[in-house]
Amino acid sequence: MKKKIQLIYKISLLLISIEALNINSNDYFKKYVKQNINKKSFIYLSKFNRNINYYYIDIITTISFIYQIINDKIKYRTVNKIIGEYNEYTQSQLTKQYLTKFTYIYNKIYDYYDYDYNHYFNSVYIYKLAIINLYLIKQINQTRGFFILTKYLYNPFFN
């Protein structure tokens, strides 16, 4: 059961990254869900529904969808630019926008009720998650991308 929860969490983080990168991918995402996935067993965890009852076929179709949308919709130059400018002292507007949007979506879904006094360390952790997922998206665009995606999703130590 713990592996299922980790898998769902990692898939949700990738979906948050996709949504934070491109506003149009969210519309594409909703259209895909309507066409291909049973809404009762949908994986994307929300702040109101933390139910983990789902079917493995939905997990497989969602993983396939993530791979497909990363290769189709996300501009590779944008991902490279954000990763390249993340470590600079003055970050670009694009990098700040991505991190802000990722933080907003993450807090909306996971940390709505867990807001504590240690908000600085929480935001550093969320930024780290955002950049790790962005780096993973960059690696998925490479030749062995699907292998890297499945290795990330099923390896418990690859957080």
Per DSSP, 107 falls in state H
159 assigned to some structural domain: no
148 assigned to some structural domain: yes
In a 10 Å sphere around its CB, with 0-12 CB exposed, 13-18 middle and 19+ buried, how is residue 106 labelled? buried
138 assigned to some structural domain: yes
58 assigned to some structural domain: yes
Rank 47-56, 85-94, 112-121 by mean pLDDT and report only the highest.
Answer: 85-94
The answer to which of 83-92, 104-113, 133-142 has the lowest mean pLDDT is 104-113
41 assigned to some structural domain: yes
104 assigned to some structural domain: yes
Question: CA-to-CA distance for 75 and 158, rounded, in angstroms?
Answer: 25
Listed residue (31, 104, 22, 2) closest to 70, CA to CA: 22
Whole-model pTM? 0.73
Listed residue (83, 79, 61, 60) closest to 71, CA to CA: 79
| pLDDT bucket at 159, cuts 50 / 70 / 90 | low
Count structural domains, the chain.
1
Q: Which domain holds residue 23?
A: 2-154
Does the pLDDT value for residue 145 go beyond 60?
yes
The per-residue pLDDT for range 80-105, each reduced to its tens digit, is 888 888 877 777 888 888 888 888 88
